[in-house]
Chains A and B, each alone.
Chain A
């Protein structure tokens, strides 16, 4: 290889290398600019009162998907105008929400778009899209801490139930009194005093209960064995039932006969003649008794007078 060829080779090599790297740098630049040169993009403008540090290049999310980036933020007329570029068109409806939210616990912001309810009417043309004021987590945390501090101060100064619990001795004293009373009751129970004490300490109740249970068991055994009236009534043998049934049939026959005026009882129930005769008999007997009562002194006197002779 002569000198000229070597020089040409070196120049070509250097040129190729620099050309390749410049192309790579161009691609790098395009990629980092987050611009999509060969696909359609859609630009939107949102207006906020505050954006809490939303910056150019922050991601835009729709239904949890990254659909674009914040292209520019400008402060105009006390409002922040946020210009975004989206990969797809978004149809906003009444009830839409545009929020600046934290990208993660570590920081960073994203723009979140909610298009609005499906059944809501679509927004008209040339309408300013207003974003919601972002929630400042730090501020909210500060307010929460402040509230907590106020609560602690109130408790420390004895306000409210918790404060009284911590500072007022009344409840403690009441608790102590209850505890002492309870101790007395427990001591009594332990000594076997009172009904509860006897229940816990005296075995006689248990023994009696055991006897009652034994007796009850004996009775139930007998019943189960078909002994006694109840046992016979409950046993599967239908003799008693049949006897009772026959008795009931007989009783029914008798009552029917009585109802029909048959026999002495039937006539007594149904025949008025016997009633009338009985009434007359009673009247005669009463008259006879009255006569006898009236005649009794005379008879007695006669008996005394004529008894001497």
Chain B
């Protein structure tokens, strides 16, 4: 039901001009301001993946295959998953806190009094921004993760960058890439939906805002995990 309502608001939003600035602002907050943390997390995710799989593969003399292990893992699962977690923890929690504060200070009620649909005014820019930015950030995470794996391969495991890249592109397919991006798109919608819902449901003043923030992060994490599994199952089994 909530998804259906969101779809309706999305149509109204798409044909409106007032929310463009707010959407760009949300894109900036979601994308550009999250770049630093995503860069670090993506690089180290790729490095850890390469090191762990490389050390095991080295026992069989097959460390050259870390390229494919890292690339396929990042593109299929780790890229969208890590990006989703970071955005849920940073942007999602901020959304929940902001909307929660607005709710407890009755700013939402004021908007309604002014006949401004708070869902269209507050939720849609964030929803569109996250739905657009999550796949973009996932591509960025994938690239940095693969680069991080290449660095570990070249410096720790003796796998040349050329061999690593050849191997990385050997087993990964476009289906893996786009299924991953689709997951990221879904995660963006989930994070916004959960965070906005928790924000609007906030009660009990500042304590409630804290609870809403915490709940939005926890619920987003859990839903991302479950939906991630379901999307994988949908496309690969």
Q: Which residue of B lies closest to A108 (CB)?
A: B171
- Looking at chain A's contact residues, the main secondary structure is helix
User: What A residues does B28 contact at CB under 8 A?
Assistant: 10, 13-14
- In the complex, whether A29 has a CB less than 8 A from a CB of chain B is yes
B152: Cβ under 8 A from any A Cβ: no
Chain B residues with a Cβ closer than 8 Å to the other chain, count: 22
Task: Pick from B92-100, B172-180, B204-212 the stretch touching chain A.
Answer: B172-180
Interface segment out of the listed B139-147, B185-193, B215-223: B139-147
The smallest beta-carbon distance between A69 and chain B, in angstroms, is: 9
User: Given contacts A28-B143, A31-B169, are A14 and B177 in contact (CB under 8 A)?
Assistant: no
Contact residues in A for B173 (Cβ distance below 8 Å)? 32, 57
Instruction: State the Cβ distance, B87 to closest chain A Cβ, in Å.
Output: 15
| Secondary structure call for the B interface | helix
Q: Which residues of B sit under 8 angstroms from A18, Cβ to Cβ?
A: 27, 31, 132, 136
Q: Does A24 contact B (CB under 8 A)?
A: yes
Which residues of B lie under 8 Å from residue A181 when comparing CB positions?
none
B174 and A14 form a contact (CB under 8 A) = no
Q: Cα distance A228–B19 when bound, in Å?
A: 139
Tell me whether A59 is interfacial, beta carbon within 8 Å.
yes
Q: Contact: B139 with A28, CB < 8 Å?
A: yes
Q: Which of A4-34 contact B (CB under 8 A)?
A: 7, 10-11, 13-14, 17-18, 21-22, 24-25, 28-29, 31-34
Chain A, Cβ-Cβ closest to B21: A7
Chain B proximity of A185: nearest CB distance (Å): 58
User: In the complex, which of the residues B24, B35, B132 contacts A11, with contact meaning CB atoms closer than 8 Å?
Assistant: B24
B79 nearest CB across to chain A (Å): 11
A57 to B25, CA, bound (A): 42
CB B161 to nearest CB in A, in angstroms, measures 14
| Across-interface contacts of B136 in A (CB, < 8 A) | 17-18, 21-22
Chain B residues with a Cβ under 8 A of chain A = 21, 24-25, 27-28, 31-32, 35, 132, 136, 139-140, 142-143, 169-170, 172-174, 176-177, 181
Per CB-CB distance, the 10 closest pairs between chain A and chain B, nearest first, are: A21-B136, A10-B28, A14-B27, A32-B174, A25-B139, A21-B139, A11-B24, A14-B28, A31-B169, A32-B172
Task: Return 27 A-B CB contacts under 8 Å, by A number.
Answer: A7-B21, A10-B24, A10-B25, A13-B28, A14-B24, A14-B28, A14-B31, A17-B31, A17-B32, A17-B35, A17-B136, A21-B139, A22-B136, A24-B140, A24-B143, A25-B139, A28-B139, A28-B177, A29-B174, A29-B177, A31-B169, A32-B169, A32-B173, A32-B174, A32-B176, A33-B174, A57-B173
